[in-house]
Every structure is written in C-alpha cells, then in structure tokens.
Amino acid sequence: MRKVWLLVIVMFYHVFPSKGISNVSTRPSTVNIGALMSFNSTVGRVAKVAIEAAVDDINSNATILNGTKLNISMLDTKLSTGFLGIIDSLRLMEKDTVAIIGPQFSVMAHVISHIANEMQVPLLSFAATDPTLTSLQFPYFVRTTQSDLYQMAAVAEIVDHFQWRDVIAIYIDDDHGRNGVAALGDKLAEKRGKISYKAPFRPNNITREEINNALVKIALIESRVIVLHIYPSFGLQVLHVARSLGMMGSGYVWIATDWLSTLLDSNPSLFTTQAMNDIQGVITLRMYTPESEIKRNFSSRWNKLSQKKDPEEGPFALNTFGLYAYDTVWLLASALDAFFKSGGTLSFSNDSSLNMLKGDTLKLDTMGVFVDGVMLLEKILEVNRTGLTGQMMFSPDGNLVHPSYEVINVIGTGIRRIGYWSETSGLHTGETPNHSNSSEGLFGVIWPGQTTQTPRGWVFASNGRHLRIGVPLRISYREFVSRTEGTEMFGGYCIDVFTAALNLLPYPVPYKFVPFGDGKTNPLNTKLLNKITAGEFDAVVGDITITTNRTKIVDFTQPYIESGLVVVAPIRKMKSSAWAFLRPFTPMMWFVTGMFFLAVGVVVWILERRLNEDFRGPSRRQFVTIIWFSFSTLFFAHREKTVSTLGRLVLIIWLFVVLILNSSYIASLTSILTVEQLSSSVKGIESLATSNERIGFLSGSFAENYLTEELNIHRSRLVPLNSPSEYEKALKDGPANGGVTAIIDERAYMELFLATRCEYGIVGQEFTKMGWGFAFPRDSPLAIDMSTAILKLSENGDLQRIHDKWLTRSACSSEGAKQGIDRLELESFWGLFLLSGIACFIALLCYVIRMAYRFSRHPNSNPEGCSSYYTRLRSFFTFVNEREEEEEKNIMSKRKRTEKGSSRRVAHEDGLIMDGSSVSVHIENDAAQG
C-alpha cells in the first residue's frame, strides 16, 4: 500500500508547474539519453552490449550528429517489472534525459509510459511486444520491434493451416502474457478457431509443483495444440515438466512464441545439452531480419564486442532483440539530427512544486518537462532508414512496417526453417517472407514423438467422462430409433449407422446414450438440438433432418440417408375402357395435331395442283383428296405423288413430325394398356398448395414451418399427426369427415408407411432435397471424423446393408405408386409443330411470289386494258387455277393469233401499194398514148 501511495505522489508532482525555463544551445555538445533493461536476462545481456556499441559507433562518426555526442545512462532493472522500474526511470529524468531506450518488459513499459506522457519524453522499446502499448493512451511510447499482434496472427495461421480449431494457451499472467493471448484469441476467431483453455502462471517464482498441476489439468483436456507464450527464464522448465508427464510425445503440438528462438540464438550451447530432448518437435517463431552487408559486418565483430563489454561473462551469441536494440539507438540519433536541423532545443521546464519531495535518493525538484518532446517524437516517427533489421519505418498505427517471421522446427541437435509468415503473403515457403513466387504453406514438420504425420490436434479427454449422446424417444417409426423396454439399450437404423461409424474411427470413443422425451409423444428435434448448445449433450443421434436453421446452432456430419418431403394421398387403379386409345394425348394435343394434318394437306394441294393431275378435278374430288392425303401421311400410305420442289420440302418435314408423334403415341398407349395405372385427385405439391384442402404432417417436424413459411400455406389447413395409424385414419376419413386430403412428410418415413398400405402412394415429385445427419457442437472435430467414417461406410457397402436390414421394402412400396397417367401434352411437341408451320409458311410465300411474277409476264395479266383491281385479282386466281400445260398452250395460241393478225395487216398494206402502182402505170400509159 505504501508503494501505491508513493507512486501516486510521483505521478502528480506536475500539478503545480513552475514557469521557470532553462535553455541550452540548439546544438549542444552532448545529449542525455537513458536505457532501462535487465542486465542478467537473456535479452538484456545482449541488448546492453548492442546499445553501447551503437553509441560508440555514433559518437565516433562526427557526421551523424554534427559533433554532438550521445551520453547514455544505463540502469539495471534486475528482473523487476514494477515499482523499482519506476524509480529507475525517475532517476534518468533527473539528468534532463530527452529519450529513454527501453524498458525491456511490457509490464514496466505500461507504468513508465504514464511518466513519459507527463515528462513528454519519448520511450523507445526494443523488446516490449505487448500489442496494447501502441494505443492512444501512450502517445510517447514508440515500439522499435515487432508487435505480438503480428506474431499471434502468424500462430493463428499455422493453426488454421493444419486445420486445427481448438488450442490451449499457457502464459504468464501479466500485461505481456494476457494481452498477447487476447490477440491470439482474436486472430483465431477470424479463422473460426478458439482458445479452449487458458493456463496462466504467476509472473514471478513459478514452482515446479505449480507447473505440474497446470499441465496435469491440460492433459485431461481434449485439445492437444498448446501455445506457449512465456518468458525465456520459465519456458524450458515448463517443457521439461511436460516431457516428464509424457506430453512431448506423439499426438501433441507445441507452438512456442519467439522466446524459444531467442533463447536458442543466445545460448548455442543448449544444442549439446539434455534440454534439447525437452523441445524436440516444437515449432517456434523468430522475427525475420534480412541478410545484408552491415548485418554481416556487425555479426562478425560481435564476439569481440561482447568480450570487451562483459569480460566476466565472456563472448555470448547475438539474438534478434540485440539487432533491434542496436537499430533503436541509430533511429534515435537520426531523429535527433532532424530535430536539431528543424530548430529543436533541449529545453526543460522546472517545477518547484516538488520541493516538498526532496530527499537523498530522489531529487524530484530538479526534474523538468521536455518542452520540445512533441517535436522529437514526430521526428522519431518520421525516420525512414535501413538498419541491421531491415527497413526502420513506422506505419500510421505506430508499428514497424513489413512485419514478418521465420517459422522454425526444432529437430535433433539443431533447428530447421520450414517457412515464413508475413502480413502481406501469409505462410509460404520462399527465399524471403515477401517472395512473390513462393508456394503457400510450410515444409514438412517433425512433430513431437519423431513423427512426420500431422497430429489430429485433439483426443478424447482421459478423465473417464463418457460422451452423453442424446437420442429421441420416438413412439412411431421405431425402425429408425427404438429403445428396448426396461433397459438403456437402443437400436434401429440410425443407431446402427452411428455405432458402425464409431468403429471406423482410429481412436476409442467412450459414450452412453441418453433418452430424450416422455415416451408418449414424439419429442421436438429442435429442443433436442438446443440441449447441445446448453452443454447437456455432447451429440445427438437419431432421425435429425439437416436444415439451414439447425446448422446455425450445431454442426452436422455428412448425411447418411437422403430424405426430402413428399406428398402421399389415396390412389385408385384406373380401369380400362373402350376409349383407352385416346389417353396418350391430351385433348389440346389431339386438336392441334388434327388441325396440322388438315393444314399440311391444304398447303400441299395448293403447291401441287398446277403441276400434279392427282390434285385436280372437280371440287368434290379435290376436297376428298385433301382429306385423304392429310391423314394418310399418318401411316405413310399416301398414294398421291408430289412433283413440286416446295411440296416435297413441306411433306418431308411433316413426315418427320408424324414419325415422332406416331412413335410417342405407340409408346404411351403400350404403357397404358400393359402397366397398372394409378390415379389420384392430388397431382402434387403445386395443386395441393393452391387448393383449400386440409393437409396432414408429422407433429414436431420441420415440415410445418416449411409449409407455412416457404409455400405460404395457411396454418389452419395443417393437421398435426403423431403416428402411421393416425396417418391412415386421417386419409381414410378424408376432408369431408374431419380427415385430410394428403400427408406431407419425409420420404424415409413414407416408404415405411407405404410398405404395407398399397391403397396410398406418393404423388408428384419430391420437392425438397435434404438428409439426416448426426449433430455435434459447433466446430467439433468429431463431426469431421464421423463424416469421413460415414463416407467409408457408403463406399464399402455397409451403409446399404444396414439400410436393407431395417428398411426393407415390400411389393407394394412407393416405387410402384407413381401417380397414374403421364399424358403427352402439347408442350412436349410445340417445337415440331412450329418447324412444320414455318416450312408451310415459307413454301406458300415462295409460291405466291413466284405466281405473282409469272402472272405479271402473262399476256392476260391486264385483260382488255382493264385497270379494275377486282378484275385483275380474278384474272390472277384464274391464272393460278390453270394447269401449267394449259398456261403454256394459251400463251402459244395467243402468240399465234397475234402473229396471224400481224401478217394480215402486212398483206393488206402490200395490196394497197400494189393497187396504187397499177393505177399509176395505167395513167402513164394513157398519157403516152395521148
């Protein structure tokens, strides 16, 4: 409690600020920066050397800060993550510190960020990965490493890649652990996964007994995918206890966050110790840093640096956090250079209100607020440089751009990279995380237990609990589900399929059937499925139809039987009659066929009568010829020959139509006369829905909602029935006596109902396509394995054998109860009639055009110069009515008469000329004599 009060005093020292300002030059000779880390930790030991090396490199190069030197004060926070870290940060503030590198732990970063906000001092952390630190609450916190938000996205994608759904999270119960696991839960939810169990540990002083107790509980849970998000100091201890409990064997999956790769990079000697036996097959992540010349140069001089900076410890290996710590100092130097170039000054406001807090340990009265801290923060976020870890540039959300990780598998005495993850490309196996041509997924993994087979990711819990399987206690159709009287034994088709599928699973499944229902009425399947969501049942087995609404609350297996809705109604045998030969065609079909026979006969008569003597003669004879020719084509027995091209075209198309009609008629009539025909007043669901008759359905089934919501049948027309006997009675009574016209139920039920009741049958077509399946909780892996088992039953024939055992059909099954007559309707032949009609029309059009053209060239086309339309039309019909030989004779005779008249005129004119000549001769003779 005393610590809390002291913290409050420290945080509110700025309530009464002073207006005194102390200024220094724009380009000071030195700039004070601080660093907070745990020198004895895996990360802190490496980071300390890297930061000091970066400061030395910067100070030795006068061109970076133009002569200004970095003066760094480094404080060891030990392994403290709380109050002592606050004291250390306040000590740094006494020295007019412009920025603090660190702290190393996310918990301390949360606390110190409040002080940084008050003092307006940027806080650059190279190791605090808690995703919530980059929030509006902490504007002065700058993360110079990758956020756990992206690391957890990579873990979630690995889980989804191997098609696991449930994981167990083991973590340290502090800000770092809780917020990291929360991010993991969010990323898994995006992949339809979840954290099924969380095992938190205390942040400090974890005992082996606590670890053992937590892992024993985890061993009793179904999930076998474990994500270990913990500190390096505790991680190996957890894995060692897990191995002693047999939890590092076949079937388990261990995914460690980047703490394990950091530990292995920092301590290469671990590869030759017994600790490697505890981490075989583990998958871990490592922040990706691209290879570059500056990185190779720094790595080559690392041993000398670590030996020089820490001679007692001797040379130790470099890890990724050391690279980020080195780059953090350079990033700050670049920002300070830009800060000074923009006119920034190292000004701090003095606060005399802290005089009351003077002491020997903390001189809070000497602390001041960094006046230009906002400007320096802006310059830090604007930096864009390339360092040892690649591009150092911040996104608008305050995180480094291009986050990416290596996916590593621990094998034998080493590690193997099996792929990459990046925010843009996801999981892939390329040369780099952003390799565009790389393939998706990962290389092969060696899992715990030295196996290459991907673990299933879950098993049945070994806590002795049996699965509670809910079974509907039916009072009808006991062939599907039935209970032996006085026992807890169940049988039936559904039960046999379920047990047969369980026997195919590669693991044992302890279970027990639990009846659901009162045994007097059929239970509602929807209520039974709700028991799964309530946790009372682990699964439901029975005649459960898979519907859209039900899949929203549970997961179903592959359907093991198809069963859509059908209509069952009373049927009667159709008796044969003297007019049975008329049944194949509907009345409209008969009418249209007869009209086309006559129409084709008329068209052929028109096209043939000018050329064909068979189509000429008296009117009575022509009428009989048309009728005879038309209907004789039905038997291809017409005697009249067609000689015109157009007539032959029309006739050949019509004969093709007649061939189809004849074949269809014979086939349908044969079926009518040889197969027993059944008829019903109900034709199917369409006629039933449009009528006002009463309809029966199975009480409690989904059929009621389907009929009312999908088909808009009023609920008052629906009659709930409970058993096949009630079905039979309601159908016998009929709607006139309080019964029903038809029953609507699933085909599987109706096939059993009709097996011994031949006076009823299925009418119309099955109007829904559904199936039955076993129900499990959402995202249950058992549902997937059971679906695979059902497919195997179907492939090896066992599913059909179980069906034949329980659902054997009798002779009067519904297969032979198809509703009566399939009469041939006009809709089936209108295309043929259309083709024939088009041929007739085109032939007549061509004929008329041809006749009009020939008539225009005929000598009698304009008789006696008459211009009367009626006269010309009568002349045209007279012309058309003439036979072609007569037309030619008339044309020839007309030509002869014309030629004879012309010769007479010529002879008469010649006579006159001759007579004139003789007179002139006589005159001339007389004149000569005179």
pLDDT, residue 617, reads 65
Query: Is residue 496 within a helix (H) or strand (E), and if so which, with residue range?
Result: helix 493-503
Q: Does residue 865 register a pLDDT over 70?
A: no
State which H helix or E strand residue 604 sits in.
helix 587-608
Amino acid 357: pLDDT: 45
CB 331 within 8 A of CB 380: yes
295 compared with 889, residue with greater pLDDT: 295
Q: Does residue 164 surpass a pLDDT of 50?
A: yes
The structure tokens listed for 262 are 């950091």
- The whole-number average pLDDT for the span 502-527 is 88
Distance CA 146, CA 155 (A): 14
The pLDDT of residue 641 is above 80:
no
User: Can you tell me whether residue 468 is helix, strand or coil?
Assistant: strand
Taking only the tens place, the pLDDT of each residue in 402-461 is 999 999 999 999 999 999 999 988 999 887 887 666 678 899 999 999 999 999 998 876
- pLDDT of residue 869 exceeding 90: no
Pairing verdict, β 368-370 and 348-350: antiparallel
**Confidence at 524, pLDDT banded by 50, 70, 90:** confident
More confident residue, 82 or 543: 543
Q: Which two tokens stand for residue 377?
A: 């923060």
Q: In which band, very low, low, confident or very high, does the pLDDT at 765 lie, cut at 50, 70 and 90? A: confident
Which of 824, 815, 757, 821 has its CA nearest to residue 573?
821
Residue 103: cis peptide before it, omega within 30 degrees of 0: yes
Q: For residues 339 and 376, give the distance between their C-alpha atoms in angstroms, rounded to a whole number.
A: 6
Q: Fill in the DSSP letter of residue 863.
A: G
Written as six digits, the tokens of 362 are 């903390």
pLDDT confidence of residue 834: 84
State residue 776's pLDDT score.
95
Phi/psi for 835 (5° steps) reads -60, -45
Whether the predicted pLDDT of 37 surpasses 70:
yes
The pLDDT confidence band at residue 924, using thresholds 50, 70 and 90, is very low
In the chain, pLDDT over 90 holds for what percent of residues? 43
Least confident piece of the model among 191-195, 600-604, 729-733, 790-794: 600-604
* In the chain, % of residues over pLDDT 70: 78
User: Whose structure tokens read 């829905």?
Assistant: 689
More confident residue, 314 or 126: 126
pLDDT digit string (tens) for 725-747? 999 999 999 888 889 989 999 98
Give pLDDT, residue 916.
44
The pLDDT of residue 252 is 95
Mean pLDDT, residues 585-599 taken together = 81
Superfamily for the 465-562+770-805 domain: Periplasmic binding protein-like II (3.40.190.10)
Which pLDDT score is estimated for 7?
Answer: 42
| Token reading at 74 | 């480094």
Q: What is the pLDDT of residue 914?
A: 43
Q: What is the pLDDT of residue 812?
A: 59
Look at 105-109, 396-400, 596-600, 714-718 and tell me which has the smallest mean pLDDT.
596-600
From-to residues of CATH 3.40.190.10 in the chain: 465-562+770-805
Q: Average pLDDT of 268-274? A: 90
Give the integer Cα–Cα distance in Å for 76 and 44: 9
pLDDT digits (tens, 9 = 90+) for 360-375: 444 555 567 899 999 9
Q: How far apart are CA 78 and CA 92, in angstroms?
A: 16
Amino acid occupying residue 806: W
pLDDT at 26 over 70: no
Choose the weakest-confidence range: 158-167, 631-640, 777-786.
631-640
The answer to whether 620 and 628 are in contact (CB under 8 A) is no
Is the Cα dihedral 616, 621, 622, 627 positive or negative? negative
Residues of the chain by 3-state class (helix, strand, coil), percent to 5:
50, 15, 35
Calculate mean pLDDT across residues 667-677.
65
Mean pLDDT lowest for which of 18-27, 143-152, 309-318? 18-27
CATH (residue range 677-768): 3.40.190
- The segment(s) of the chain belonging to CATH 3.40.50.2300 are 28-144+291-390, 146-288+402-426
How far apart CA 507 and CA 668 sit, in angstroms, is 57
Q: Is the pLDDT of residue 585 over 50?
A: yes
C-alpha span between 77 and 74 (Å, rounded): 10
Range from 28-37, 486-495, 608-617 that averages highest in pLDDT? 28-37
- The model's pLDDT over 297-350, given as tens digits with 9 standing for 90+, comes to 999 999 888 887 666 666 789 999 999 999 999 999 999 999 999 999 988 886
Q: At what angle do helices 320-341 and 373-382 cross, to 10 degrees?
A: 120
Residue type, 575: K
- Say which DSSP state 159 is in: H
Average model confidence (pLDDT) for the chain? 82
Strand segments (E) across 220-332: 225-229, 253-256, 283-287
Which residue type is seen at 695? I
Task: Work out the number of other CB atoms within 10 angstroms of the CB of residue 488.
Answer: 11
Higher-confidence position of 41 and 817: 41
Kindly state the tokens that stand for 809.
């059909």
The CATH class that applies to domain 28-144+291-390 reads alpha beta
> Does 117 score more than 70 pLDDT?
yes
Give the three-state DSSP class for 457: coil
Best CATH choice for the domain 146-288+402-426 from the list 2.40.10.10, 3.30.390.10, 2.60.40.730, 3.40.50.2300: 3.40.50.2300
- Look up the pTM and report it: 0.68
What is the residue whose two structure tokens read 């843009």?
424
pLDDT of 819 > 50? The answer is no
**Range of 391-405, 652-666, 862-876 with top mean pLDDT:** 391-405
Between the two ends of the chain, the Cα-to-Cα distance in Å is 184
